[in-house]
Amino acid sequence: MAKRVKLVLREDIYKLGKNGDLVEVAPGYARNYLFPKGLAVPVTPGVMKQVERRREEERQRKIDDRNKAESTKTALATIGLLRVPKPVGEDDAIFGTVTNRELADVLKEFAGVEVDRADIEVPEISKLGKYEATVKLHAEVTATVNFEVVPD
């Protein structure tokens, strides 16, 4: 049985690993496919230093993203009650509904916080009143935004 070859991937390869991963593969697979296409490089001390540096940069970037999400959560908590104007019919029923796009625009305009509309979960709204929406800022950080639907 042939010895396995250790190498570092330069790109994501399905069912093998991600860019920068240290993997072991059959020598023929490395020699005939990975090396000629530039998808991997042999393991050397210099390459391992680069891999460790990249991993540290990625870890630091993730920490920075989480800290930014936490500061945005704090900013959203301090803004108080937002007002979303909607046209109103009889019995305080609004025409249409409040969408996540409208709430994202209100957050940007009045709070100065830019949030992707896909990350906002708005409850079903059909009348005037006070409501709560959930904003997903990061995989581990969610914030709650209080808003009031008012007549236009």
Domain around 61: 5-65
At position 20, the amino acid (one-letter code) is G
What pTM does this model have?
Answer: 0.71
Q: How many domains does the chain have?
A: 2
CATH number at 142 reads 3.10.430.100
Question: Who contacts 115 (Cβ-Cβ below 8 Å, separation ≥6)?
Answer: 72, 104, 107, 108, 135, 137
pLDDT of amino acid 91:
87
- In this structure, the answer to whether residues 74 and 138 fall within a common structural domain is yes
- Residue 11, token pair as written in the block: 């790109």
pLDDT of amino acid 1:
59
- In this structure, the answer to whether residues 22 and 75 fall within a common structural domain is no
The pLDDT tens digits of the residues spanning 29-71 come to: 999 999 999 999 999 999 999 989 988 999 999 999 999 999 9
- In this structure, the answer to whether residues 74 and 147 fall within a common structural domain is yes
pLDDT of amino acid 152:
83
- In this structure, the answer to whether residues 47 and 72 fall within a common structural domain is no
CATH number at 31 reads 3.40.5.10
- In this structure, the answer to whether residues 77 and 144 fall within a common structural domain is yes
pLDDT of amino acid 149:
93
- In this structure, the answer to whether residues 10 and 79 fall within a common structural domain is no
- Which parts of the chain register pLDDT below 70? 1-2
- In this structure, the answer to whether residues 10 and 73 fall within a common structural domain is no
